[in-house]
Amino acid sequence: MTYQPVRGTGTRPSGPSGEPGDASRRGAGRRLAAWCAALLLAGVSVVVGCRTAGTDGITPVPQLLAFLPWLLVPTGAALLFSLLARWWTGLVWGVVALALLAWFIEPYGNSTEPDGTPLAELRVLTSNVEFGHGTGSLVPEIRRWKPDVVFVEECEYTCQATLQRDFGDTYPHRREVVAGGSAGSMLLSRYPLRGTDGVPGTMGMPGAVADVRGHDVRLQLAHPMPPLPGQVGLWRRELGRLRDFGAADRRTPTVLAGDFNASQDHAAFRRILDAGLHDAARLAGHDRTPSWPARTAGGIGAQIDHVLVSRDFSASDARFLRLASTDHRALLVDLTLHQRR
């Protein structure tokens, strides 16, 4: 007797949708999507957790905190991956992270403006000219906007010589830290200045008391070290010194301006605001306008250049000016000094 093989009884390695091979591929895809979601949410959660706890943590958390609003992008991607993986725990996790980010994106600090009698108008400009390279583009902006007080960070020897030559008559009152590279800085004023010791730091931070139409106003340039890896402790200490300056005298009107290398999402910066100072850009409705890095500030960036004022001031306008040859936008604000009730 001859036996004939029965056709069609073998096991196929793959087949149309719904057969074992296809189900295996779908399962692997979902596992990969779940892993991607978990990794993204873990990274976001570390940063958001530090923001919730009121701490700046360690590298890379301080660096990422500067871009906290942009963490919405990886959070959204994690939600999409969780949905594709049908990972319901990830979906809940992502929604919670999204809600916390939305909460923290709201402006921080007091926005109550004074209602006392206006005493004087004060236009303030602060600019980091990146080792002096942006001085040439800053000069025409000073001539155009005619600020009363100018704070210039990273203003080295050539920068200081240029500003003294071009504005010696317009701004006869000056305070400077003469140094090269990023350590040099300069404060220019139309109003008479009485020198102070300033705030000690790795980079120059001069200070003065200005006589603004018969009223003393404390002026202090801010330029603490950036939170580079290995220097986060130094950055935190120098921001702490600026906080101590703000809290030292709450009776005299105060303007603290410059490149803080910190945003409102950094706990060390929020402590400066808690000392009784207001962010003028926020008062003028520009609390999240990026100032650095200048090349991408129109899309992605952080507001690390600030003009902080005591409760004696209101702010009617704030402009972030594009300058060539520097990685910072300049910040120009219009302030009004009020009489305290």
- pLDDT of the residue at 6: 44
Query: Cβ distance 254 to 221 under 8 Å?
Result: no
| Mean pLDDT for the chain overall | 93
Q: Say yes or no to pLDDT of 130 above 70.
A: yes
Q: Which token pair is 269?
A: 């910066």
Q: Read off the pLDDT band of 8 (50, 70, 90).
A: very low
Model pLDDT for residues 219-278, shown as the tens digit of each residue: 999 999 999 999 999 999 999 999 999 999 999 999 999 999 999 999 999 999 999 999
CB atoms within 10 A of CB 263: 25
DSSP 105-136: HS--S--PPP-S-EEEEEEEEEEE-TTTTTHH
- pLDDT of the residue at 109: 83
Model pLDDT for residues 12-52, shown as the tens digit of each residue: 444 444 566 777 888 888 999 999 999 999 999 999 999 99
Mean pLDDT along residues 103-112: 89
Mean pLDDT along residues 108-121: 90
Measure the CA–CA gap between 329 and 266, rounded to whole angstroms: 20
Model pLDDT for residues 72-94, shown as the tens digit of each residue: 999 999 999 999 999 999 999 99
Enumerate the β-bridge partners of residue 222: 258
Model pLDDT for residues 166-219, shown as the tens digit of each residue: 999 999 999 999 999 999 999 999 999 999 999 999 999 999 999 999 999 999
Q: Say yes or no to pLDDT of 95 above 60.
A: yes
Measure the CA–CA gap between 96 and 154, rounded to whole angstroms: 41
- pLDDT of the residue at 18: 53
Question: What's the burial of 127, exposed, middle or buried (CB within 10 Å: 0-12/13-18/19+)?
Answer: buried
Of 286, 232, 234, 244, which Cα lies nearest the Cα of 264?
286
* List of residues 6+ apart from 4 with CB closer than 8 A: none
Assigned CATH topology for domain 118-338: Deoxyribonuclease I; Chain A (3.60.10)
- pLDDT of the residue at 1: 45
The full set of domain ranges for the chain reads 22-105, 118-338
DSSP 172-235: -EEEEE--STTS-EEEEESS-EEE------SS---EEEEEETTEEEEEEEE-PPP--TT-HHHH
Greater pLDDT, 242 or 110:
242
- pLDDT of the residue at 298: 75
Of 80, 86, 113, 114, which Cα lies nearest the Cα of 30?
86
